[in-house]
A = this chain, B = another copy of it.
Protein backbone atom coordinates (compact mmCIF):
# COMPACT_ATOMS: atom_id res chain seq x y z
CA UNK A 1 0.00 0.00 0.00
CA UNK A 2 3.04 2.23 0.57
CA UNK A 3 3.64 2.12 -3.17
CA UNK A 4 0.23 3.63 -3.84
CA UNK A 5 0.93 6.61 -1.62
CA UNK A 6 4.26 7.08 -3.30
CA UNK A 7 2.60 6.96 -6.70
CA UNK A 8 0.08 9.56 -5.61
CA UNK A 9 2.77 11.92 -4.37
CA UNK A 10 4.59 11.57 -7.64
CA UNK A 11 1.57 12.32 -9.66
CA UNK A 12 1.41 15.71 -7.96
CA UNK A 13 4.83 16.56 -9.48
CA UNK A 14 4.96 20.15 -10.70
CA UNK A 15 5.29 20.15 -14.49
CA UNK A 16 2.29 17.91 -15.33
CA UNK A 17 -0.20 20.72 -15.50
CA UNK A 18 -3.80 19.73 -14.98
CA UNK A 19 -5.82 17.13 -16.79
CA UNK A 20 -4.83 15.88 -20.21
CA UNK A 21 -8.27 14.33 -20.54
CA UNK A 22 -9.92 17.70 -20.27
CA UNK A 23 -7.37 19.38 -22.52
CA UNK A 24 -7.49 16.81 -25.33
CA UNK A 25 -11.07 15.57 -25.46
CA UNK A 26 -12.83 16.17 -28.75
CA UNK A 27 -16.14 17.68 -27.73
CA UNK A 28 -19.02 19.57 -29.29
CA UNK A 29 -17.94 21.58 -32.35
CA UNK A 30 -14.51 19.95 -32.57
CA UNK A 31 -12.55 21.08 -35.63
CA UNK A 32 -9.53 18.99 -36.57
CA UNK A 33 -8.13 21.48 -39.06
CA UNK A 34 -8.21 24.28 -36.51
CA UNK A 35 -5.99 22.34 -34.10
CA UNK A 36 -2.33 23.36 -33.94
CA UNK A 37 -0.38 20.12 -34.43
CA UNK A 38 2.66 21.71 -32.81
CA UNK A 39 0.89 22.73 -29.59
CA UNK A 40 1.13 21.03 -26.19
CA UNK A 41 -2.32 21.23 -24.52
CA UNK A 42 -2.34 20.49 -20.81
CA UNK A 43 1.40 20.97 -20.46
CA UNK A 44 3.35 24.20 -20.23
CA UNK A 45 6.84 22.76 -19.96
CA UNK A 46 9.36 22.18 -22.75
CA UNK A 47 10.83 19.00 -24.23
CA UNK A 48 13.40 18.59 -21.50
CA UNK A 49 10.80 18.97 -18.76
CA UNK A 50 8.44 16.59 -20.54
CA UNK A 51 11.05 13.89 -21.02
CA UNK A 52 12.23 14.22 -17.43
CA UNK A 53 8.73 13.34 -16.24
CA UNK A 54 8.49 10.10 -18.17
CA UNK A 55 10.36 7.70 -15.86
CA UNK A 56 8.17 8.49 -12.85
CA UNK A 57 5.03 8.46 -14.96
CA UNK A 58 6.07 5.05 -16.25
CA UNK A 59 6.40 3.85 -12.67
CA UNK A 60 2.98 5.21 -11.76
CA UNK A 61 1.41 3.58 -14.82
CA UNK A 62 3.21 0.32 -14.10
CA UNK A 63 1.96 0.27 -10.52
CA UNK A 64 -1.64 0.93 -11.55
CA UNK A 65 -1.44 -1.67 -14.27
CA UNK A 66 -0.16 -4.31 -11.88
CA UNK A 67 -3.05 -3.60 -9.52
CA UNK A 68 -5.54 -3.92 -12.35
CA UNK A 69 -3.95 -7.23 -13.30
CA UNK A 70 -3.91 -8.46 -9.68
CA UNK A 71 -7.58 -7.54 -9.29
CA UNK A 72 -8.47 -9.81 -12.21
CA UNK A 73 -6.72 -12.78 -10.61
CA UNK A 74 -9.36 -12.75 -7.89
CA UNK A 75 -12.33 -12.31 -10.15
CA UNK A 76 -12.14 -8.67 -11.28
CA UNK A 77 -13.48 -8.10 -14.79
CA UNK A 78 -12.19 -4.64 -15.57
CA UNK A 79 -9.83 -3.96 -18.45
CA UNK A 80 -8.63 -1.07 -20.60
CA UNK A 81 -8.61 -0.65 -24.37
CA UNK A 82 -6.27 1.97 -25.79
CA UNK A 83 -6.94 2.71 -29.46
CA UNK A 84 -4.17 4.51 -31.35
CA UNK A 85 -4.93 6.03 -34.76
CA UNK A 86 -2.99 8.45 -36.91
CA UNK A 87 -1.58 9.04 -40.37
CA UNK A 88 1.63 7.28 -41.46
CA UNK A 89 4.64 8.54 -39.47
CA UNK A 90 2.39 10.11 -36.83
CA UNK A 91 4.26 8.19 -34.13
CA UNK A 92 2.08 5.16 -33.42
CA UNK A 93 5.14 2.94 -33.17
CA UNK A 94 6.78 5.35 -30.75
CA UNK A 95 3.74 5.17 -28.48
CA UNK A 96 3.96 1.37 -28.50
CA UNK A 97 7.64 1.50 -27.69
CA UNK A 98 7.82 4.31 -25.18
CA UNK A 99 4.41 4.32 -23.48
CA UNK A 100 3.15 0.74 -23.74
CA UNK A 101 6.74 -0.55 -23.58
CA UNK A 102 7.27 1.25 -20.26
CA UNK A 103 4.87 -1.13 -18.53
CA UNK A 104 5.19 -4.83 -17.71
CA UNK A 105 4.71 -6.71 -21.00
CA UNK A 106 2.66 -9.34 -19.15
CA UNK A 107 -0.13 -6.82 -18.53
CA UNK A 108 -0.62 -5.43 -22.00
CA UNK A 109 -1.23 -6.80 -25.45
CA UNK A 110 -0.71 -4.93 -28.70
CA UNK A 111 -2.72 -5.83 -31.77
CA UNK A 112 -1.67 -4.26 -35.06
CA UNK A 113 -4.44 -4.16 -37.60
CA UNK A 114 -3.06 -4.37 -41.12
CA UNK A 115 -5.00 -4.59 -44.38
CA UNK A 116 -7.65 -7.21 -43.69
CA UNK A 117 -6.96 -10.75 -44.89
CA UNK A 118 -9.31 -12.61 -47.19
CA UNK A 119 -10.79 -14.41 -44.21
CA UNK A 120 -11.27 -11.16 -42.28
CA UNK A 121 -12.93 -9.57 -45.30
CA UNK A 122 -15.40 -12.44 -45.46
CA UNK A 123 -16.70 -11.42 -42.01
CA UNK A 124 -18.30 -8.29 -40.59
CA UNK A 125 -15.67 -5.56 -40.16
CA UNK A 126 -15.90 -5.83 -36.37
CA UNK A 127 -15.20 -9.58 -36.36
CA UNK A 128 -11.43 -9.31 -36.15
CA UNK A 129 -11.75 -6.45 -33.67
CA UNK A 130 -13.87 -8.45 -31.24
CA UNK A 131 -11.34 -11.29 -31.28
CA UNK A 132 -8.64 -8.89 -30.10
CA UNK A 133 -10.53 -7.27 -27.21
CA UNK A 134 -8.56 -7.33 -23.94
CA UNK A 135 -9.16 -9.94 -21.27
CA UNK A 136 -9.89 -8.96 -17.65
CA UNK A 137 -6.96 -7.21 -15.98
CA UNK A 138 -5.25 -6.40 -19.27
CA UNK A 139 -4.50 -3.24 -21.17
CA UNK A 140 -5.29 -4.00 -24.79
CA UNK A 141 -3.67 -1.68 -27.30
CA UNK A 142 -4.86 -1.33 -30.88
CA UNK A 143 -2.32 -0.03 -33.38
CA UNK A 144 -4.93 1.06 -35.93
CA UNK A 145 -8.39 -0.32 -35.33
CA UNK A 146 -11.98 -0.58 -36.53
CA UNK A 147 -11.67 3.10 -37.43
CA UNK A 148 -9.70 2.10 -40.53
CA UNK A 149 -13.07 0.89 -41.79
CA UNK A 150 -14.28 4.48 -41.91
CA UNK A 151 -10.92 6.01 -42.87
CA UNK A 152 -9.03 4.30 -45.71
CA UNK A 153 -12.23 2.47 -46.61
CA UNK A 154 -14.08 5.77 -46.94
CA UNK A 155 -11.29 7.61 -48.77
CA UNK A 156 -10.92 4.81 -51.31
CA UNK A 157 -14.58 3.76 -51.31
CA UNK A 158 -13.50 0.17 -50.69
CA UNK A 159 -17.15 -0.52 -49.91
CA UNK A 160 -20.13 1.48 -51.21
CA UNK A 161 -20.81 4.79 -49.37
CA UNK A 162 -24.09 3.44 -47.96
CA UNK A 163 -22.10 0.71 -46.32
CA UNK A 164 -19.35 2.80 -44.73
CA UNK A 165 -21.96 5.41 -43.90
CA UNK A 166 -23.68 2.90 -41.63
CA UNK A 167 -20.52 2.00 -39.83
CA UNK A 168 -20.39 5.04 -37.55
CA UNK A 169 -23.56 3.90 -35.87
CA UNK A 170 -22.33 0.32 -35.73
CA UNK A 171 -19.09 1.47 -34.12
CA UNK A 172 -20.95 3.49 -31.50
CA UNK A 173 -23.18 0.53 -30.65
CA UNK A 174 -20.14 -1.76 -30.50
CA UNK A 175 -18.18 0.55 -28.24
CA UNK A 176 -21.19 0.99 -25.97
CA UNK A 177 -21.28 -2.78 -25.62
CA UNK A 178 -17.54 -2.99 -24.93
CA UNK A 179 -17.79 -0.30 -22.26
CA UNK A 180 -20.76 -2.18 -20.79
CA UNK A 181 -18.43 -5.17 -20.48
CA UNK A 182 -16.25 -3.32 -17.92
CA UNK A 183 -13.83 -1.93 -20.46
CA UNK A 184 -12.41 1.57 -20.21
CA UNK A 185 -11.98 2.74 -23.80
CA UNK A 186 -9.39 5.42 -24.58
CA UNK A 187 -9.35 6.50 -28.23
CA UNK A 188 -6.38 8.57 -29.35
CA UNK A 189 -5.68 10.24 -32.66
CA UNK A 190 -2.06 11.32 -33.13
CA UNK A 191 -2.43 14.45 -35.22
CA UNK A 192 0.51 15.66 -37.32
CA UNK A 193 0.70 18.24 -40.08
CA UNK A 194 1.32 17.30 -43.69
CA UNK A 195 4.64 19.17 -43.55
CA UNK A 196 5.74 17.21 -40.51
CA UNK A 197 4.91 13.98 -42.33
CA UNK A 198 6.99 15.07 -45.27
CA UNK A 199 9.99 15.63 -43.02
CA UNK A 200 9.57 12.28 -41.32
CA UNK A 201 9.26 10.44 -44.62
CA UNK A 202 12.37 12.23 -45.88
CA UNK A 203 14.23 11.06 -42.78
CA UNK A 204 13.25 7.49 -43.56
CA UNK A 205 14.73 7.90 -47.02
CA UNK A 206 17.86 9.58 -45.70
CA UNK A 207 18.73 6.83 -43.22
CA UNK A 208 19.56 3.31 -44.46
CA UNK A 209 18.40 1.90 -41.11
CA UNK A 210 14.98 3.46 -41.75
CA UNK A 211 14.54 2.47 -45.40
CA UNK A 212 12.53 -0.61 -44.49
CA UNK A 213 9.89 1.61 -42.88
CA UNK A 214 9.33 3.47 -46.14
CA UNK A 215 6.75 2.43 -48.68
CA UNK A 216 6.49 4.16 -52.06
CA UNK A 217 2.71 4.08 -51.54
CA UNK A 218 3.20 6.56 -48.69
CA UNK A 219 3.84 9.33 -51.22
CA UNK A 220 0.72 8.44 -53.17
CA UNK A 221 -1.32 8.75 -49.99
CA UNK A 222 -0.05 12.26 -49.35
CA UNK A 223 -2.19 13.46 -52.25
CA UNK A 224 -5.21 12.23 -50.35
CA UNK A 225 -4.31 14.14 -47.19
CA UNK A 226 -7.41 16.42 -47.32
CA UNK A 227 -9.67 13.39 -47.85
CA UNK A 228 -8.12 11.66 -44.85
CA UNK A 229 -8.55 14.74 -42.69
CA UNK A 230 -12.20 14.86 -43.72
CA UNK A 231 -12.60 11.19 -42.85
CA UNK A 232 -10.93 11.70 -39.46
CA UNK A 233 -13.10 14.74 -38.77
CA UNK A 234 -16.23 12.69 -39.53
CA UNK A 235 -15.11 9.74 -37.41
CA UNK A 236 -14.32 11.97 -34.45
CA UNK A 237 -17.50 14.01 -34.81
CA UNK A 238 -19.77 10.99 -35.09
CA UNK A 239 -17.98 8.67 -32.66
CA UNK A 240 -16.75 10.88 -29.83
CA UNK A 241 -19.44 9.68 -27.44
CA UNK A 242 -19.84 10.12 -23.70
CA UNK A 243 -18.92 6.51 -23.01
CA UNK A 244 -16.01 6.46 -25.46
CA UNK A 245 -14.77 9.94 -26.34
CA UNK A 246 -11.94 10.71 -28.75
CA UNK A 247 -8.77 12.43 -27.59
CA UNK A 248 -6.88 14.27 -30.30
CA UNK A 249 -3.19 14.64 -29.47
CA UNK A 250 -1.10 17.19 -31.37
CA UNK A 251 1.83 15.04 -32.44
CA UNK A 252 4.36 17.15 -34.33
CA UNK A 253 6.36 17.03 -31.10
CA UNK A 254 7.00 13.37 -30.41
CA UNK A 255 7.96 13.94 -26.78
CA UNK A 256 4.64 15.68 -26.14
CA UNK A 257 2.54 12.99 -27.82
CA UNK A 258 4.19 10.35 -25.63
CA UNK A 259 3.74 12.42 -22.49
CA UNK A 260 0.11 13.06 -23.36
CA UNK A 261 -0.80 9.43 -24.06
CA UNK A 262 1.01 8.29 -20.90
CA UNK A 263 -0.99 10.82 -18.88
CA UNK A 264 -4.27 9.88 -20.56
CA UNK A 265 -3.62 6.28 -19.62
CA UNK A 266 -2.74 7.17 -16.03
CA UNK A 267 -5.75 9.44 -15.58
CA UNK A 268 -8.08 6.69 -16.71
CA UNK A 269 -6.37 4.07 -14.56
CA UNK A 270 -6.55 6.38 -11.55
CA UNK A 271 -10.25 6.72 -12.06
CA UNK A 272 -10.53 2.94 -11.99
CA UNK A 273 -8.42 3.04 -8.81
CA UNK A 274 -7.63 -0.70 -8.75
CA UNK A 275 -6.70 -2.13 -5.35
CA UNK A 276 -4.60 -5.12 -4.30
CA UNK A 277 -7.24 -7.79 -3.92
CA UNK A 278 -8.21 -9.42 -0.64
CA UNK A 279 -7.29 -13.10 -0.69
CA UNK A 280 -9.62 -15.83 0.49
CA UNK A 281 -7.12 -17.83 2.56
CA UNK A 282 -5.90 -17.28 6.11
CA UNK A 283 -2.50 -15.62 5.72
CA UNK A 284 -1.24 -16.50 9.21
CA UNK A 285 -2.23 -20.11 8.79
CA UNK A 286 -0.40 -20.30 5.46
CA UNK A 287 2.71 -18.78 7.04
CA UNK A 288 2.60 -21.50 9.67
CA UNK A 289 2.18 -24.23 7.08
CA UNK A 290 4.98 -22.83 4.96
CA UNK A 291 7.33 -22.58 7.94
CA UNK A 292 6.83 -26.29 8.53
CA UNK A 293 7.97 -27.31 5.05
Contacts and interface: CB of A to CB of B under 8 A. Distances in A.
Please tell me the size bucket of the interface on A.
35 or more
B276 A208 contact: yes
A223 interface: yes
A154 B74 CA distance: 29
B101 A104 contact: yes
Given A97-B104, A106-B112, A112-B106, A211 B276 contact: yes
A253 interface: no
A189 interface: no
Interface in A266-293: 276-279, 281, 283, 286-287, 289-291, 293
Contact of A287 (B143, B202, B208, B279): B202
A290 to B, nearest CB: 5
Interface in A77-117: 93, 96-97, 100-101, 103-106, 108, 110, 112
Contacts of A100: 105
A290 B1 contact: no
Contact of A283 (B108, B205, B223): B205
Nearest to A74: B212
A211 B143 CA distance: 34
Interface of A: 1, 3, 70, 73-74, 93, 96-97, 100-101, 103-106, 108, 110, 112, 143, 198, 201-202, 205-206, 208-209, 211-214, 216, 219, 222-223, 276-279, 281, 283, 286-287, 289-291, 293
